[in-house]
Amino acid sequence: MENAVHEAFALAEHAATVIQKTFPAHHEVLVVLGSGWAESVPALEALSTSPVHTLEIAEIPGFKKPTALGHGGALKSITVGSTPVLLLTGRTHLYEGRGVHAVVHGIRTAYNLGCRTVILTNGAGCLRTDWQVGTPVVIRDHINLTAHSPLTGDNAPPLAGRFVDLTDAYATSLRDLVRSIEPSINEAVYLGLHGPHFETPAEITMAATWGAEMVGMSTVLETIAARHLDMNVLALSLATNLASGLSGNKLSGEEVIQVGKDSSKRVGDLLSRVLVAFDQQQNGKRS
* Residues near ligand HPA (CB under 6 A), total: 13
Q: Which residue is nearest to ligand HPA (CB)?
A: 125
> In whole angstroms, how close is the CB of 22 to ligand HPA at the nearest point?
33
Work out whether 92 is an interface residue with ligand HPA (CB under 6 A): no
Secondary structure of the chain in the HEC alphabet?
A: CCCHHHHHHHHHHHHHHHHHCCCCCCCCEEEECCCCCHHHHHHHHHHCCCCCEEEEHHHCCCCCCCCCCCCCCEEEEEEECCEEEEEECCCCCHHHCCCHHHHCHHHHHHHHCCCCEEEEEEEEEECCCCCCCCCEEEEEEEEEECCCCCCCCCCCCCCCCCCCCCCCCCCHHHHHHHHHHCCCCCEEEEEEECCCCCCCHHHHHHHHHCCCCEEECCCHHHHHHHHHCCCEEEEEEEEEEECCCCCCCCCCHHHHHHHHHHCHHHHHHHHHHHHHHHHHHHHHHHC
Q: Which is nearer to ligand HPA, 156 or 239 (CB)?
A: 239
Among 125, 136, 150, 268, binds ligand HPA (CB under 6 A): 125
- Looking at residues 178 to 217 of the shown chain, list those that interact with ligand HPA (rule: CB under 6 A): 198-199, 215-217
Q: Which is nearer to ligand HPA, 80 or 103 (CB)?
A: 103
- Looking at residues 242 to 281 of the shown chain, list those that interact with ligand HPA (rule: CB under 6 A): 243, 251, 256
> In whole angstroms, how close is the CB of 109 to ligand HPA at the nearest point?
25
Q: Which is nearer to ligand HPA, 43 or 133 (CB)?
A: 133
> In whole angstroms, how close is the CB of 243 to ligand HPA at the nearest point?
5
- Looking at residues 210 to 249 of the shown chain, list those that interact with ligand HPA (rule: CB under 6 A): 215-217, 240-241, 243
Among 123, 150, 153, 192, binds ligand HPA (CB under 6 A): 123
Work out whether 84 is an interface residue with ligand HPA (CB under 6 A): no
Q: Which residues bind ligand HPA (CB under 6 A)?
A: 123-125, 198-199, 215-217, 240-241, 243, 251, 256
